[in-house]
């Protein structure tokens, strides 16, 4: 299924950010006398931050304050407790060499997403890095994807694929008529991705390259 444009989620798709996000959640929860284990927090890596904090016990009236505490910690410490998944750099290089236009569409704030892509030396590979807005007007994944598509000149949906690891990503793809590709190395499960409408599931960056560029064969494991 060759696509001329590919939008990537960030957390759980391009980068393994679990350590920094879990630490940031715990820091924010602790400021309200709350705690959660890593498994409970992991379920909220990807969806909007405010949803995760609410689900983990922060009262509705304290959510804005909890978000501020989380972001203060994340911006200085949690953001860098992160790594590129093995094979992602090569995947981006192969897609770029084939002339594919790439972008990032993440629920994470746009300034954080830009800093992360710059930190890992991949920022130049993306035509657009679209994330949540600081003013809170753009939070949901559907809105982030709409913003990314607008910045790309409103391309024909049939030319665009959205790659992500959570159901929110697949639902956003469906909302905009894009091909949703679920990656199983992230934080969602294959069942979650399938239930949310994923058109394809892939288990490695090599499999993703082979799907997006049919002339590319997956590398042998050995």
Q: What is the pTM of this model?
A: 0.86
Q: Could you tell me if 199 and 180 are in contact, meaning their C-beta atoms sit under 8 angstroms apart?
A: yes
Residue among 60, 84, 77 at smallest CA distance from 26: 77
Q: 18-80 belongs to which homologous superfamily?
A: Putative phosphatase; domain 2 (1.10.150.240)
Is 143 one of the catalytic residues? no
Residue-level pLDDT at 82: 94
Residue-level pLDDT at 222: 37
For the structural domain made of 5-16+83-212, what CATH number should be given? 3.40.50.1000
Please name every residue paired with 202 in a beta bridge, in sequence order, or none if there are none: 183
For 28-68, where are the E strands, in sequence order? Answer: none
Phi, psi of 199 (to 5 degrees): -80, -30
C-beta atoms surrounding 205 within 10 Å: 23
pLDDT digits (tens, 9 = 90+) for 89-114: 999 999 999 999 999 999 999 999 99
Catalytic residue among 9, 11, 143, 165: 9
Residue among 80, 88, 91, 123 at smallest CA distance from 13: 88
Going residue by residue through the chain, which has 222 residues, state the pLDDT in tens, using 9 for 90 and above. 567 999 999 999 999 999 999 999 999 999 999 999 999 999 898 888 999 999 999 999 999 999 999 999 999 999 999 999 999 999 999 999 999 999 999 999 999 999 999 999 999 999 999 999 988 889 899 999 999 999 999 999 999 999 999 999 999 999 999 999 999 999 999 999 999 999 999 999 999 999 999 765 444 433
> Domain ranges in the chain?
5-16+83-212, 18-80
């Amino acid at each position: 299924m060759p696509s001329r444009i590919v939008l990537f989620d960030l957390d759980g798709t391009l980068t393994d950010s679990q350590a920094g996000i879990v630490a940031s959640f715990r820091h924010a929860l602790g400021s309200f006398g709350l705690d959660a284990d890593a498994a409970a927090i992991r379920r909220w890596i990807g969806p909007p931050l405010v949803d995760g904090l609410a689900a983990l016990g922060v009262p509705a009236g304290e959510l804005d304050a909890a978000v501020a505490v989380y972001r203060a910690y994340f911006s200085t410490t949690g953001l860098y407790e992160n790594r590129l998944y093995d094979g992602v750099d090569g995947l981006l290089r192969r897609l770029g060499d084939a002339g594919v236009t790439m972008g990032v569409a993440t629920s994470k704030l746009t300034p954080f997403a830009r800093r992360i892509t710059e930190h890992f030396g991949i920022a130049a590979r993306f035509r657009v890095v679209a994330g949540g807005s600081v003013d809170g007007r753009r939070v949901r994944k559907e809105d982030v994807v709409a913003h990314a598509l607008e910045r790309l000149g409103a391309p024909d949906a049939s030319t665009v694929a959205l790659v992500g690891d959570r159901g929110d990503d697949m639902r956003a793809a469906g909302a905009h008529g894009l091909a949703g590709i679920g990656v199983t190395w992230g934080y969602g499960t294959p069942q979650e991705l399938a239930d949310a409408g994923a058109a394809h599931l892939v288990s490695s960056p090599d499999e993703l390259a082979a799907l997006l560029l049919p002339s590319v064969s997956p590398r042998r494991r050995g």
